[in-house]
Amino acid sequence: MKDCPVICPVCGSPLHFAEKTAVCKNGHSFDRSKEGSVNLILNGSPSAGDGAEMASARKRFLSKGHYSHLLCGLKESLRDYIFPQSTVIDACCGEGYFTNALQKEFCEASFYGFDLSKRALRYAAKDSQKALFFAANISSVPVKDGSADILLHIFAPVNEKEFLRLLAPKGVFIHVFPGKDHLMGIKRILYGEPRQNDERSGLSDAFEVISSKKISETVVLDNASLCDLITMTPYFYRTPKDRIENAMRLPYAETETEFIIDICKKNGKIKRIKK
């Protein structure tokens, strides 16, 4: 098994893990939650991330398998690139639903999840069999240069410079972002005639897209799952309160879900293969 690529965010030395702390050879010490995640956010850095309500809503929603089709698509994508000794880094892992499920599927590889939300990481670490979870700022992930054989990034803004640093020379970046019709059913309920999402990855030519696939499925949600989905999206904060309340009274709802999975490598010209 390869060494743990996670380093001390102060001096860059390797970290050694104990039950309640992680320490480096220079005596920098970091707290470990009772669930096992390590807080590598330095004092003075922003440490908010997603709040309790959003994290628990997403945890419940994903646990019910409403995005299991995305998980299947990710398993297929990883299968083409992963090998037993792979180091997989999930930047913005949230509650760890995808990280833990993929670790279970590819049990010989080593998975490391990072997120700003300590609350979300508690769920992630609690459900973990082997993956390790860390609170960290995604603009400066405390991981050795070039250690990610696979870098996973699902539904969050990309920090290109940092991601290029993390990626091993022959590593792949698996970038998941919403398709144009993602959550149209929910948007129709909230806004009447909604606009489609901008279906572009937003990556520069620093990454070469070697394959791209779209995963679509209509999901039917009962009231509890509908409320959770609305709570875990940005619409919850952007939409007038009365519209949110009306939507949350519906007994059920149906919505399209649409995900793009782009597999990228460093450099080269962009070549998109539609499946």
Nearer to Zn ion, 29 or 68 (CB): 29
CA distance 229 to 58: 7
Shortest distance in whole angstroms from residue 12 CB to Zn ion: 7
- At its nearest, how many Å lie between Zn ion and the CB of residue 85? 26
DSSP 60-123: HHHHTTTTHHHHHHHHHHHHTT--TT-EEEEET-TT-HHHHHHHHHTTTSEEEEEES-HHHHHH
CB of 40 to Zn ion, least distance (A): 10
Scan for tokens 């809503």, then name that residue: 57
Residues that bind Zn ion (CB under 5 A): 8, 10-11, 13, 24, 26, 28
Least distance from Zn ion to the Cβ atom of residue 130, Å:
25
Minimum CB distance to Zn ion, residue 142 (Å): 10
Of 12 and 268, CB closest to Zn ion: 12
Shortest spacing between CB 11 and Zn ion, in angstroms: 3
Is the CB of 18 or the CB of 48 nearer to Zn ion?
18
In the complex with Zn ion, which residue's Cβ is closer, 24 or 120?
Answer: 24
In the bound state, the residue with its beta carbon closest to Zn ion is 8
Strands lying side by side in the sheet with 21-23: 16-17, 21-23, 29-31
In this structure, what token pair is assigned to residue 12?
A: 């860059």
Shorter beta-carbon distance to Zn ion: residue 10 or 71:
10
User: Closest CB to Zn ion among 30 and 259?
Assistant: 30
**Length of the chain in terms of residues written:** 275
